[in-house]
Structure 1
Amino acid sequence: MLSRRKADFIMVIAVLFWALSYVLTRYGLTDLEVFNFMAIRMALGFLIAALLCYQTFLKINKETILAGSVLGALLFLTLIGTNYGLTMTSISNTVFLISMTAIFVPLFSTIIYKKLPERKIIVGTIGAAIGILLLTVTGIAGLGIGDALCIIAAAVYAVHIMIAKKFVSSEKIDALNLGIVQLGFAALYAGICSFLFETPSFPESPDVWFAIFFLAIFSIAFGCVAQVVVQKYTSASHVGLIFALEPIFGAIFAYFAYGEILLPLQILGGAFVFFSVIWIEWDWNDFRSKKRKTKEK
Structure 2
Amino acid sequence: MLTQRKADFIMIIAVLFWGLSYVLTRYGLFDLPVFNFMAIRMALGFIIAALLCMKSFSKINKETLFAGAVIGLFLFLTLTGTNYGLLRTSISNTVFLISLTAVFVPIFSTIIYRKLPDKKILIGTLGAAIGIALLTLTGISGFGFGDVLCILAAAAYAIHIILTKKFVGNKKIDALNLGIAQLGFAALYAGIGTFLFEDPIIPQDETVWFAIFFLAIFSIAFGCVAQIVVQKYTSASRIGLIFALEPIFGAIFAFIVYGEVLLPLQIVGAAFVFFSVIWIELDTTELKKLKMKKRSGV
TM-score bracket, normalised by the shorter chain, equals: over 0.9
Q: For residues 46-96 of structure 1, give each alpha carbon's deviation from its aligned partner in whole angstroms, at most 9, with x where no partner exists.
A: 000000000000110000001100011000000000000111111111111
Alignment of 1:36-75 (within 5 A): 36-75=36-75
More displaced stretch, 258-267 vs 10-19:
258-267
Give the AA of the match of 2:110: T
Q: For residues 159-193 of structure 1, give each alpha carbon's deviation from its aligned partner in whole angstroms, at most 9, with x where no partner exists.
A: 00000000000010000000000000000000010
State the match for 1:161 in structure 2: 161
Q: For residues 110-138 of structure 1, give each alpha carbon's deviation from its aligned partner in whole angstroms, at most 9, with x where no partner exists.
A: 11111111111111111100100000101
- What is the rounded CA distance, in whole Å, between the counterparts of 1:53 and 1:285 in structure 2? 38
More displaced stretch, 165-174 vs 140-149:
140-149
- What is the rounded CA distance, in whole Å, between the counterparts of 1:101 and 1:72 in structure 2? 17
Aligned residues: 297
Alignment of 1:65-214 (within 5 A): 65-214=65-214
SS of corresponding position for 2:139: coil
- Structure 1: which 5+ residue stretches go unaligned? none
SS of corresponding position for 1:138: helix
- What is the rounded CA distance, in whole Å, between the counterparts of 1:222 and 1:292 in structure 2? 42
- Structure 2: which 5+ residue stretches go unaligned? none
SS of corresponding position for 1:189: helix
How well do the aligned residues superpose, as a CA RMSD in angstroms? 0.7
Regions of 4+ moved over 6 Å? none
TM-score under structure 1 length normalisation? 0.99
State the match for 1:22 in structure 2: 22
- What is the rounded CA distance, in whole Å, between the counterparts of 1:53 and 1:245 in structure 2? 29
1:142 offset after TM fit, Å?
Answer: 3.4
State the match for 2:235 in structure 1: 235
- What is the rounded CA distance, in whole Å, between the counterparts of 2:226 and 2:172 in structure 1? 19
1:141 offset after TM fit, Å?
Answer: 3.4
1:212 offset after TM fit, Å?
Answer: 0.3
- What is the rounded CA distance, in whole Å, between the counterparts of 1:39 and 1:141 in structure 2? 31
State the match for 1:249 in structure 2: 249
- What is the rounded CA distance, in whole Å, between the counterparts of 1:82 and 1:9 in structure 2? 24
1:280 matched to 2:280? The reply is yes
Give the AA of the match of 2:123: V
TM-score under structure 2 length normalisation? 0.99
